[in-house]
């Protein structure tokens, strides 16, 4: 079987600005047609990484290959890369069609072929018939689609997205996440997306890289990343997670008992610990059950008494913040995804929390 090289490959790539390391020793590869999202907080190095792939920045060390060829000496305009920027960078004096045609003209496509290509990509992004509209006559979501169509019109080997949805309101952003996924799957273009929005990463990606302080913390498919975070940073960055510190008291294979003051908790770990070591437990809000004293759970691995401090109604769910005296009053967050039918717990109510061993992940402190 013929070995197919990845579309993008980074080998030991670092970028320093003076004494500051923005990106440190990054390695990854991306196969044809896949969508990779680089996820992380502001200042983690994700945009610098994208700019190096695009050619706007040069690595301090390491190699970047596109389609198996080194690109360090190749200027951005000679790399077969389409880009959608955070500010979209559409030309306001041009129509939607003219914006889409612009990269085709710059790449000297045959003039007679351009109208057909513009029409094709307008159809792909569901803007057929809007080629004569000025940019200011389009909604935010329509402008977004024009930017995507322009980036795809010359059939690039790689599409780079630099937080292009961040300026949209929540509802439109979520709609565009699904719309982009539809477009990408239809076209099959290899894509790297940069965002700080965890939902966007989970919805749009085949693979996610989580970065912090210029370093890759974890690389995995969305399901594995969410269910099996490799460290407490990833666990706390993805989803709403409660953290609790303690010391190891007992180890049974991958099961760990650790004490928070005089309270014992049981959890799962992939790390090697020794008795007395400081650890931190992490549990997702959707994994915690909340009960009343009258419906106190039986057979659960961890059970704690608590008091409701906050309740926040988000439409499709209720979010509780609960204080547990046994945990030094560290807050525990709980999701109730059926608030219309379940018991409503109000501020000051005494409740009982429970969760299973497998749901409490234990990491080095």
CATH number at residue 277: 2.40.50.140
In tens digits, the chain (365 residues) has pLDDT values of 445 689 999 999 999 999 999 999 999 999 999 999 999 999 999 999 999 999 999 999 999 999 999 998 899 988 999 999 888 889 999 999 999 999 999 999 999 999 999 999 999 999 999 999 999 999 988 999 999 999 999 999 999 999 888 878 888 888 889 999 999 999 999 999 999 999 999 999 999 999 999 999 999 999 999 999 999 999 999 989 999 999 999 999 999 999 998 899 999 999 999 999 999 999 999 999 999 888 888 888 999 999 999 999 988 889 999 999 999 878 999 998 777 777 889 999 999 999 999 999 999 98
The pLDDT score that the predictor gives to residue 164 is: 83
Angle between helix 114-124 and 170-187 (nearest 10)? 130
Whether 220 is covered by a domain: the verdict is: yes
Residues 219 and 265 in one domain: no
Structure tokens at 15: 């970028």
Beta-sheet strand order (sheet of 8-17): 20-30, 8-17, 61-66, 69-70
Whether 300 is covered by a domain: the verdict is: yes
Angle between helix 140-152 and 170-187 (nearest 10)? 20
Percent of the chain with pLDDT over 70: 99
CATH of the domain at 219: 3.40.50.300
Which residue range is the domain that position 148 belongs to?
A: 8-232
Whether 185 is covered by a domain: the verdict is: yes
Residues 180 and 249 in one domain: no
Pick the last residue of a domain from 209, 232, 255. Answer: 232
Say how far apart CA 204 and CA 28 lie, in whole Å: 19
Whether 255 is covered by a domain: the verdict is: yes
Residues 265 and 344 in one domain: yes
Residues 79 and 227 in one domain: yes
Residues 210 and 258 in one domain: no
Q: Helices marked H in 219-266 — which ranges?
A: 222-227, 232-237
Residues 137 and 196 in one domain: yes
Structure-derived torsion over alpha carbons of residues 161, 163, 166, 172, reported in degrees to the nearest 10: 20
The count of structural domains within the chain is 2
Residues 70 and 162 in one domain: yes
**What's the DSSP call for residue 109?**
-
């Amino acid at each position: 079987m013929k070995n197919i090289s990845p579309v993008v490959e980074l080998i030991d790539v670092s970028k320093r600005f003076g004494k500051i390391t923005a990106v440190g020793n990054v390695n990854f590869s991306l196969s044809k047609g896949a969508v990779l999202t680089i996820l992380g907080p502001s200042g983690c190095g994700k945009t610098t990484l994208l700019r190096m792939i695009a050619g706007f920045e040069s690595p301090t060390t390491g190699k970047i290959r596109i389609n198996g060829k080194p690109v360090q000496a190749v200027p951005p305009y000679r790399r077969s890369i389409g880009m959608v920027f955070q500010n979209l960078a559409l030309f306001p004096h041009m129509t939607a069609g003219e914006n889409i045609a612009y990269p085709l003209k710059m790449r000297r496509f045959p003039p007679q072929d351009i109208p057909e290509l513009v029409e094709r990509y307008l159809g792909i992004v569901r803007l057929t018939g809007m080629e004569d509209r000025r940019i200011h006559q389009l909604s935010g979501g329509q402008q977004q689609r024009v930017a995507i169509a322009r980036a795809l019109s010359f059939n690039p080997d790689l599409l780079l997205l630099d937080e292009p949805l961040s300026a949209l309101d929540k509802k439109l952003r979520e709609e565009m996440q699904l719309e982009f996924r539809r477009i990408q799957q239809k076209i099959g273009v290899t894509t790297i997306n940069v965002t700080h929005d965890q939902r966007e990463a989970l919805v749009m990606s085949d693979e996610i890289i989580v970065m912090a302080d210029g370093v890759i913390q974890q690389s995995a498919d969305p399901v594995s990343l969410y269910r099996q975070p490799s460290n407490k940073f990833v666990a706390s960055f993805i989803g709403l997670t409660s953290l609790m510190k303690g010391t190891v008291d007992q180890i049974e294979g991958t099961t760990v008992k650790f004490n928070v003051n005089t309270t014992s908790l049981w959890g799962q770990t992939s790390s090697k610990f020794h008795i007395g070591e400081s650890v931190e437990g992490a549990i997702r809000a959707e994994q915690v059950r909340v009960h009343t004293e009258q419906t106190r759970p039986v057979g659960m691995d961890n059970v704690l008494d608590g008091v409701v401090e906050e309740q926040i109604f988000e439409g499709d769910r209720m979010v509780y913040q609960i204080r547990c005296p046994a945990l030094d009053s560290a807050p525990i967050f709980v999701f109730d995804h059926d608030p219309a039918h379940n018991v409503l717990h109000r501020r000051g109510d005494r409740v009982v929390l429970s969760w299973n061993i497998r749901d409490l992940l234990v990491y080095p402190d």
